[in-house]
Amino acid sequence: MVPAPGGRVAEPVYRPILTSRRGELEALGHLDSASAPLVAPLLNVSTTDTGLPELLRRLPAGLVPAVDVCALPEGPGGELARWDVPVLPVVGLACGDRRLAAHGAACRAYARGAVVRLRVGRDRAGPDAATTAVERVWRRTGLVPEQCDLLVDAGDVCCLADLRAAEPRVRWMVDWACRHAWRTVTVAAGGMPPSLSRLRTDEPVRVDRWDLLFWRRLADLGVGYGDYGVVAAPPGDVEPGDRLPTVRYTTEDGWWIYRWSRRGGRGDERFADLCRTLVTAAHWPPAGASFSWGDHELLRRARRATGAGSPANWTAWSTSHHLAHVLTELTGPVDGRRRAPPTSTEDRDGFTRPHRGGEHWRAR
């Protein structure tokens, strides 16, 4: 951890749910020493990748990811203690006894605790059943509530109807969470449309950040903020047949989607034209290339300093800008000019600052 202003130790304020693919891991790897301790990513692992532990070792100091291997079959490949990497295991209420025991071993190996993930669309038991399930988790892993971060995952919230359907469910989950002494409580949702193929090409198209709007509606709960980065929830691969140069550029209330299919010229020229359009747009930050590693790389392409890259690179650069933008939203202004953190729970832009669990979450 790095010292925060006033000598305090920096605490995570943002929990993005990301894939374990190269693009998003590369974006995490380029976080600077001040930003890395403020981000607590959760990585979804859907396939056994023997190279993933080595990639995790390259992440910056101070950044400790939570890793969700629930999609993997139980066995050595999903036992995080064997990876020899400091991580937090992600625990689901439906995890089997063998997996819970393995997660407990990982917790003891790294002495960092775990993340308990409640999925709004899957975990539909009432409060009493949820308490029974989570007590089983603590018993099988050997953990106590104070060692666990709670993540309430709302999944897709891509329109007003999704938002209205998810809100009451999330509210009762957070109300239930007040019965236990969680270390932190975070609500996460994904707002990116599952498909971009119907959007216009060769011009930027604005898409609402419904995940952020959803969290703002929950501001009275005082929970931490999480999202799915710049991909849909659950994340997917590049859409079949759609490998157009694409940048998903985060702004205060939306994303600007750049998909370029202009005929003529090579792919490098198409992407350079996309980037020139982006860096001259009103939503390009005043800080420019210094705003994030991703912005720096996009400006290089606008100047034709190097090639267009690949879909993994486009995801990396978009994610890098997104991480920097969200951290700035949560800790400072959105125009690239830093300011001191607000002294009250809610800042002047209406963002409730995440907090650690402490007394607020103790049973009462």
- pTM equals 0.86
Question: Quick one: CA dihedral 35, 29, 109, 89, positive or negative?
Answer: positive
Question: How many helices (H) and strands (E) in the chain?
Answer: 9, 11
pLDDT digits (tens, 9 = 90+) for 255-300: 999 999 876 556 688 899 999 999 999 999 999 999 999 999 999 9
161 pLDDT higher than 70: yes
**Strand, helix or coil for residue 71:** coil
Report the CATH superfamily, name and number, of domain 5-197+207-238+339-361: Alanine racemase (3.20.20.10)
Extents of the domains making up the chain:
5-197+207-238+339-361
Beta-bridged to residue 116, according to DSSP, are 91, 150
Query: Three-state DSSP class for 309?
Result: coil
**If we measure between CA atoms, which residue out of 65, 28, 22 comes closest to residue 327?**
28
Q: Tell me the torsion sign for CA atoms 197, 198, 203, 208.
A: negative
Task: Tally Cβ neighbours within 10 Å of residue 290.
Answer: 12
pLDDT tens for 98-145 read 899 989 988 888 778 899 999 987 776 778 888 999 999 999 999 999
Beta bridge partners of 151: 117, 186
